[in-house]
């Protein structure tokens, strides 16, 4: 282990991973960033809306915190909310210093233009038109690529974390690195590091319909669980209310900012329906809007509903939403003149790997940032535009903690073996993998979607356990492939999501179950913590 490949190995090249790498490299650490596809394909790069931060004259971190707590429906961790909302303005400054060009009023030297999204009491969403993630990553990635202390390991798919406990049950546990499939060469590489950080994003690909890129397969959550980390609140899956409904469209998100600027949700007959479901109308939290759309579609037998902004000035629409205007036009929809057909789709995982306020997990030497984590920020429902913010804040928290960890690092004296393929052969029928992938995503959509029942969850649990038996047999007998690794991770995260949903006997936030339609009093609400059966001391959350 003395010859570790780097100080810090970061798995994932989205905003959390890139921001962490820059902070660590600027502090003198040698960093490697592993990504299974080009960083431009990360969820961060796809983010449209923006970053919530109390930078307006009528706003404050306390107001931002109050809105976050309200959206979280009684399950936010107050100390996390305070940390994140108080650091938000400094995060915006950090990005501006690094060249991110946010949309401004009255020209390039004017004040930041602040958008308003659902459940926000103020205009506080700092954005770059309607492609904020792309603007941020376009500024940060070149800086990371050219930094002498950062190297990129692209086209590598992490398979499993290497821990001391796995290699020697009597050893003090610590993360030592990762096994990763080199997708170009078809071989498994062994990568060691003094510290590892997960920044792998969420797991929305467990569902048939999602706004996320194909990379969102829950890899970090699954690997952390197998390494001995707890997970929390995986039942809270945020379904974005408005994804473009078109036979040729795939994962085209229609930003919540359209509703923030006055967009109206309509039935096919042109009737506005949201005021019937919530007094805030289209500005209600995402879970309420998604359930309302789901209810209206099922009640009326509709394939979709419609989001209409055509009553707004056409020039204003084109200026504030150029990318959405362009993407809809590619499918023959002129949003300045006609409504947009939309449906809900899986969008964000509010639960994940349990971390403390320094982004440390249950396994020493293993950190996690971003959507793959549970930090306590989002509670039972994420407030819009808090996700990129969480990445930035916890990248900073992790950077400080990792530096302290490295200063105290001692070689564990464990030899890390290479990946053993001596007892496996090439797969004979890959159709088994593709069929199981399709089946998993479909029954998760049907049984563990926006509205759940106990019977549906039981059916899903039964199906996923059968799939896992087939996957385990395939994994144990054949050489690993990209699709098999991702399917293995998806099936595990699906199982953990189902178990979490079964454990919550109430409806709260993003989890709505007909068997228990009411919420418990907030003082009785608890997080859903699942723990793998690996002997260790659990993380003390502070």
The CA-atom distances, in angstroms, between 221 and each of 182, 287, 353, 495 are 21, 23, 6, 12
Task: Provide the sign of the torsion angle of the four alpha carbons 380, 385, 386, 388, taken in this order.
Answer: positive
For the record, the structure tokens of 292 come out as 């309302």
Picking from 63, 71, 51, the residue whose alpha carbon sits closest to that of residue 380 is: 71
Cα gap 244→267, rounded to integer Å: 15
CB atoms within 10 A of CB 459: 16
Cα gap 41→171, rounded to integer Å: 38
CA 374 to chain centre: 10
Cα gap 130→325, rounded to integer Å: 10
Length of the chain: 542
Is residue 199 a contact partner of residue 312, using CB atoms and an 8 Å limit? no
Cα gap 168→443, rounded to integer Å: 39
Q: Specify whether 536 is catalytic.
A: no
User: Strands 231-232 and 352-354: what pairing?
Assistant: antiparallel
Cα gap 93→80, rounded to integer Å: 20
Cα gap 44→382, rounded to integer Å: 16
- Among 149, 174, 286, 327, the active-site one is 286
Is residue 467 a contact partner of residue 489, using CB atoms and an 8 Å limit? no
Q: The tokens 């492939």 sit on which residue? A: 481
502's enclosing H/E stretch is helix 482-503
Q: What angle do CA 136, 212, 255 make, to 5 degrees?
A: 65
Cα gap 451→192, rounded to integer Å: 43
Dihedral pair phi/psi, residue 337, rounded to 5°: -125, -20
Is residue 199 a contact partner of residue 372, using CB atoms and an 8 Å limit? yes
Cα gap 397→391, rounded to integer Å: 10
What dihedral do alpha carbons 7, 158, 51, 137 form, nearest 10°? 80
CB atoms within 10 A of CB 303: 10
Picking from 70, 86, 78, the residue whose alpha carbon sits closest to that of residue 381 is: 70
CB atoms within 10 A of CB 475: 17
197's enclosing H/E stretch is strand 187-198
Strand ranges (E), 279-321: 305-308
Cα gap 350→378, rounded to integer Å: 6
For the record, the structure tokens of 365 come out as 């030497």
Which residues are annotated as catalytic? 286
């Amino acid at each position: 282990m003395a010859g570790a490949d780097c100080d810090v190995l970061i798995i994932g090249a989205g905003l959390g991973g890139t921001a962490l790498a820059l902070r660590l490299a600027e502090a003198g650490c040698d960093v490697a960033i592993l990504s299974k596809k080009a960083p431009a394909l990360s969820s961060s790069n796809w983010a449209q809306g923006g970053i919530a931060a109390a930078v307006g004259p009528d706003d404050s971190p306390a107001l931002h915190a109050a809105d976050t707590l309200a959206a979280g429906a009684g399950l936010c961790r107050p100390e996390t909310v305070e940390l994140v909302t108080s650091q938000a303005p400094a995060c915006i400054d950090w990005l501006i210093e690094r060249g991110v060009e946010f949309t401004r009023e009255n020209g390039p030297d004017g004040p930041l233009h602040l958008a308003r999204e659902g459940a926000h009491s103020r205009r506080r969403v700092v954005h770059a038109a309607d492609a904020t993630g792309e603007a941020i990553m376009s500024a940060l990635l070149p800086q990371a690529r050219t930094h002498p202390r950062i190297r990129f390991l692209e086209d590598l798919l992490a398979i499993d974390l290497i821990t001391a406990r796995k290699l020697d049950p009597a050893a003090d546990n610590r993360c030592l690195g990762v096994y990763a499939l080199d997708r170009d060469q078809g071989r498994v590489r062994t990568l060691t590091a003094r510290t590892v950080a997960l920044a792998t994003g969420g797991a929305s690909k467990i569902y048939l319909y999602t706004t996320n890129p194909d990379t969102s397969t829950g890899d970090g959550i699954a690997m952390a669980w197998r390494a001995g980390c707890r997970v929390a609140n995986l039942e809270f899956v945020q379904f974005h209310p408005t994804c473009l409904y078109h036979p040729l469209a795939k994962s085209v998100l229609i930003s919540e900012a359209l509703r923030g600027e006055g967009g109206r949700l309509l039935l096919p007959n042109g009737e506005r329906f949201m005021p019937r479901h919530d007094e805030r109308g289209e500005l209600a939290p995402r879970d309420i809007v998604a359930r309302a759309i789901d209810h209206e579609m099922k009640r009326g037998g509709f394939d979709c509903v419609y989001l209409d902004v055509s009553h707004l000035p056409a020039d204003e629409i084109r200026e504030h939403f150029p990318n959405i205007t362009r993407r809809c036009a590619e499918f023959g929809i002129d949003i300045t003149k006609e409504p947009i057909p939309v449906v809900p789709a899986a969008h964000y995982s509010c639960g994940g790997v349990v971390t403390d306020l320094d982004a440390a997990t249950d396994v020493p030497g293993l950190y996690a940032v971003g959507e793959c984590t549970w930090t306590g920020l989002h509670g039972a429902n994420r407030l819009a535009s808090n996700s990129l913010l969480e990445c930035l804040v916890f990248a900073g928290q992790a950077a400080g903690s990792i530096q302290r960890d490295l200063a105290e690092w001692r070689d564990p004296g464990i030899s890390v073996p290479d990946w053993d393929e001596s007892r496996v052969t090439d797969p004979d029928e890959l159709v088994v993998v593709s069929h199981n992938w399709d089946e998993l995503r479909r029954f998760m959509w049907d049984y563990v979607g926006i509205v759940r029942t106990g019977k549906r969850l039981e059916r899903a649990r039964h199906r996923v356990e059968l799939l896992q038996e087939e996957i385990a047999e395939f994994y144990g007998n054949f050489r690993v492939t990209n699709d098999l690794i991702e399917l293995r991770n998806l099936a595990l995260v699906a199982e953990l999501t189902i178990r979490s949903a079964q454990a919550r006997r109430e409806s709260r936030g993003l989890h709505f179950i007909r068997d228990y339609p009411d919420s418990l009093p907030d003082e009785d609400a608890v997080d859903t913590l699942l723990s793998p059966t690996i002997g260790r001391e659990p993380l003390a959350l502070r």
